[in-house]
Amino acid sequence: MQEIPELNIITLQETPEERAHDFCPKNFDEYLGQAELKKKLAVYTQAAKMREEALDHLLLFGPPGLGKTTLAQIMAKVMNVHIKICSGPMMERTGDLVAILSSLEPHDILFIDEIHRMPVAVEEVLYSAMEHFRVDVIVGQGAGAKSINLPISPFTLVGATTKVGTISAPLRSRFGITERLDFYNHEELRDIVLQSATFLSVTISPESAELIGSCARGTPRIAKKILRRVRDFAQVTNDNIANTALVIKALEFLGIDHEGLTKVDHMILHHMVTSFNGGPVGLETIASMVGEDKDTIEQVYEPFLMRKGYIEKTPRGRQIHRAKLPFLKQKFLGQNTLL
Ligand SMILES: Nc1ncnc2c1ncn2[C@@H]1O[C@H](COP(=O)(O)OP(=O)(O)OP(=O)(O)O)[C@@H](O)[C@H]1O
Ligand SMILES: [Mg+2]
């Protein structure tokens, strides 16, 4: 089996080691980019703090690795409250959520990642918790079972999701604020790379940092992961100095091209062009052809290929954008379709 080392860079979360020695923005100033969103959240958190109230429930949506969890942690710090972090699929039974809700102190933030993957029964408990700060618990069993309505502390729910379309309407309507995180531009990613490089004691020029930024698919997590690998190269071969030549070498080693496309992206395009003449092809077929799971293709690879104008969604599946097809045919099949 061919090894694909860049998979770690694109799809994985931070490892525990990375998290332990990682720069993490602690306030809105250290959180770079997302200027509009930051401005709004800074006002909302400040106002809630002045009123000594819990912040309105907030739904954050956007692709993985753009900084949703980080933003919630910053908001908790600014408001000087605790934050509990859990994820939707982790809460299997209603009791799990009730236990977490009843442990919250006034104005605390409950952060639920992947909130679209919460079981329906658990989600229903959340409705009255969000609206009235009360939960219903069943005590006892069988005929003697009773439902008790317990109060909980006023809290703020911060829900994060990569798929806003799959959140049920009743849940979505209970969020006072809904905000979207956008992909970062090259300059913002350059600054994030420079910020992390300072923390990691790597010497890197703004040009080299921007080169990393331009290959990072608009995503801070990927920019930081590439920087870590660049740091390894710099440490071993170049006195901890990451110049442009070294960054180019590291990117090549990781299988990332100048547009930020990885081997998996190339495999997707290659299969679509050579086996399906550009499509349309179903998502499942694409996933099985490249050996990735459907969700990863849909959430990680596909949005980027769409942003780059390579593929488009149609009612019958995904297809190569017409404008790119001649170029890709030439590349993969050596065919000159203009003839
Ligand atoms: N605006 C930013 N400035 C600096 N660093 C950032 C910024 N946004 C994210 N990061 C860094 O990028 C990494 C990923 O961020 P985070 O875990 O918050 O993303 P996420 O949106 O919660 O991802 P997921 O959807 O996978 O949970 C973290 O290491 C974080 O410190
Ligand atoms: Mg997260």
Q: C-alpha angle 94/99/104, rounded to 5°?
A: 130
Are 212 and 189 contacting, i.e. CB atoms less than 8 angstroms apart?
yes
Other C-beta atoms within 10 Å of 133: how many? 17
Contacts 24+ apart (CB under 8 A), 123-132: 123/168, 123/171, 124/94, 125/94, 125/97, 125/98, 125/101, 126/97, 126/157, 126/171, 126/174, 127/170, 127/171, 127/174, 129/97, 129/101, 129/157, 130/57, 130/157, 130/174, 131/174
pLDDT for position 2? 47
Distance of alpha carbon 103 from alpha carbon 150, whole angstroms: 12
Is residue 111 exposed (0-12), middle (13-18) or buried (19+ Cβ within 10 Å)? Answer: buried
Looking at the CA of 41, name the nearest ligand.
1
Whether the Cβ atoms of residue 57 and residue 174 lie closer than 8 Å to each other: yes
193 φ/ψ angles, rounded to the nearest 5 degrees: -65, -45
pLDDT of residue 6: 47
Of ligand 1's listed atoms, the one at least distance from the Cα of 63 is: 25
The domains found in the chain, sorted by start residue, are: 34-180 (3.40.50.300), 186-254 (1.10.8.60), 263-333 (1.10.10.10)
User: Is the Cβ atom of 225 under 6 angstroms away from ligand 1?
Assistant: no
Q: Is 85 in the pocket of ligand 1 (CB under 6 A)?
A: no
Regarding the beta carbon of 220 and ligand 1, being less than 6 Å apart is answered yes
User: Rounded to the nearest whole angstrom, what is the distance from the C-alpha of residue 64 to the centroid of ligand 2?
Assistant: 7
- Residue 53's alpha-carbon distances to 44, 45, 110, 131, in angstroms, are 11, 10, 15, 14
Ligand 1 centroid, distance to 238 Cα (angstroms): 29
What local confidence, expressed as pLDDT, does residue 69 receive?
Answer: 94
Which among 11, 68, 228, 324 is annotated as catalytic? 68
Does the CB atom of residue 224 touch ligand 1 within 6 A?
yes
Q: Three-state DSSP class for 4? A: coil
Atom of ligand 1 nearest to the CA of 184: 1
- Burial tier of 81 (Cβ tally within 10 Å: 0-12, 13-18, 19+): buried
Confirm whether 68 is a catalytic residue: yes
272 closest CA partner among 263, 281, 262: 281
Task: Please check whether residue 254 is in contact with residue 260, taking contact to mean a CB–CB distance below 8 angstroms.
Answer: no
Q: Does residue 69 carry a catalytic annotation?
A: yes
The Cα 275–Cα 261 span in angstroms is: 20
CA distance 184 to 289: 30
Give the angle 89-93-98 at the CA atoms, nearest 5°.
Answer: 105
- What are the 10-residue block averages of pLDDT along the chain, 339 residues in total? 51 72 90 95 92 92 92 94 94 90 94 93 92 87 85 95 88 94 94 95 93 93 93 86 89 89 92 91 92 87 91 92 88 68
Q: Which two tokens stand for residue 154?
A: 């006023």
Give the integer Cα–Cα distance in Å for 2 and 322: 31
CB 202 within 8 A of CB 240: yes
Query: First CA to last CA across the chain, in angstroms?
Result: 38
Contact 73 CB / ligand 1 (< 6 Å): no
Q: What pLDDT is attached to residue 4?
A: 45
Q: Which ligand is nearest to the CA of 300?
A: 1
- Per-residue pLDDT, 335: 67
> Cα angle at 65 between 285 and 239, to 5 degrees?
110
Beta bridge partner(s), residue 134: 151
Cα radius of gyration (the chain): 23
Residue partners of 37: CB distance under 8 A and separation at least 6: 71, 179, 180, 181
Mutation probe of ligand 1 site: the residue of 69, 112, 298 with most atoms within 8 A of C-beta: 69
Which secondary structure element, helix H or strand E, spans residue 110, and what is its range?
strand 109-113
